[in-house]
């Protein structure tokens, strides 16, 4: 095995939008904070949670306080986290009024015998453990969201779908989901992700983020992966687990990510980005979208943040 070095990667979503100056700065802060936890001897779980909490708090990404409203005016969020040493995992879906869904996912992993909690029960667990709350959307926010939807011709079909409850596939651009993977001094990897979903999603829709093996996967025998993109496609390929499976055969992070992302595009025209990290410090950031807000830091120089990776 190659020399191991502390390392953290994080992303703020993949799509057609370029990274803003504020998002670049925030992602750098998240990487620095997560790495500082690693440097002080904390676990990769602590580092991933810390980095994602900063992104959730910023309001600059579609996660935590920045989560988009759904068609019925509610803010429902998903998150997950997985440890590579014991294959333990926790996730929440459609959780509401919680500032840090990633911390709720960790509570599910550490304080319950379950992996995934959804809806109001997940919210109740977060309240029981006194996680920091955020208020529900105001009337003004709901009205503004509704007006924006009605004001865009491209959204009328989705709005009609919601209002008439007809069944059709959702095809909507992903926006600024967040996630991270990290490697600690014990050689353990962790993957985590948090999202407010996709714009104009139907109430009840769940994407890849809280589904272990789809949005995230971590195994100390192979590596850790965190995805971002159109969740429906990522779920159908089970992308995170498939990338980790290829890592287990000795494939490099870059080659593993590229192979599976090409399969996603070829088989179902899916679009996604991936953070990939192995227990011996090899890593890759790859995407099939025009841009991916992402970065990494290994303690040398300053955190590297960009919106395109080869």
List alpha helices for 40-93, DSSP H. Answer: 44-58
Rg (CA), the chain: 18
Q: Positive or negative CA dihedral for 193, 198, 201, 207?
A: negative
Q: Which two tokens stand for residue 18?
A: 């370029």
Enumerate the active-site residues.
Answer: 177
Among 153, 151, 203, 197, smallest CA distance to 174 is for 197
Angstrom distance (rounded) from CA 236 to CA 145: 30
Among 211, 224, 226, 223, residue whose Cα is nearest residue 272: 226
Torsion of CA 158, 268, 293, 103, to 10 degrees: 80
């Amino acid at each position: 095995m190659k020399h191991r070095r502390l390392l953290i990667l994080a992303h703020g979503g993949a799509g057609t939008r370029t990274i803003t100056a504020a998002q670049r700065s925030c992602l750098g802060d998240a990487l620095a904070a997560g790495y500082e936890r690693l440097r002080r001897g904390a676990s990769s779980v602590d580092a991933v949670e810390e980095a994602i909490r900063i992104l959730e708090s910023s309001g600059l990404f579609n996660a935590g306080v920045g989560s988009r409203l759904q068609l019925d005016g509610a803010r429902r969020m998903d998150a997950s986290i997985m440890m590579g040493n014991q294959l333990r995992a926790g996730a929440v879906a459609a959780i509401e009024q919680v500032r840090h869904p990633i911390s709720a996912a960790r509570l599910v992993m550490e304080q319950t015998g379950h992996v995934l909690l959804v809806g109001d029960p997940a919210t109740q667990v977060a309240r029981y453990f006194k996680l920091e709350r955020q208020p529900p959307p105001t009337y003004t926010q709901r009205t503004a969201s509704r007006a924006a939807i009605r004001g865009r011709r491209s959204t009328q079909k989705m709005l009609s779908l919601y209002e008439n409850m007809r069944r059709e596939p959702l095809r909507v651009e992903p926006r600024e989901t967040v996630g991270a993977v990290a490697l600690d001094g014990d050689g353990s990897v962790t993957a985590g992700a948090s999202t407010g979903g996709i714009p104009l999603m139907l109430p009840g829709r769940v994407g890849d983020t809280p589904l272990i093996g789809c949005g995230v996967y971590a195994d100390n025998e192979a590596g850790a992966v965190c995805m971002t993109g159109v969740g429906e496609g990522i779920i159908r390929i089970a992308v995170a687990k498939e990338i980790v499976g290829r890592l287990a055969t000795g494939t490099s992070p870059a080659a593993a990510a590229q192979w599976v992302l090409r399969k996603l595009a070829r088989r179902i025209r899916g679009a996604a980005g991936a953070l990939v990290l192995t227990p011996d410090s090899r890593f890759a950031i790859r995407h099939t979208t025009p841009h991916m807000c992402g970065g990494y830091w290994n303690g040398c120089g300053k955190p590297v943040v960009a919106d395109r990776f080869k």
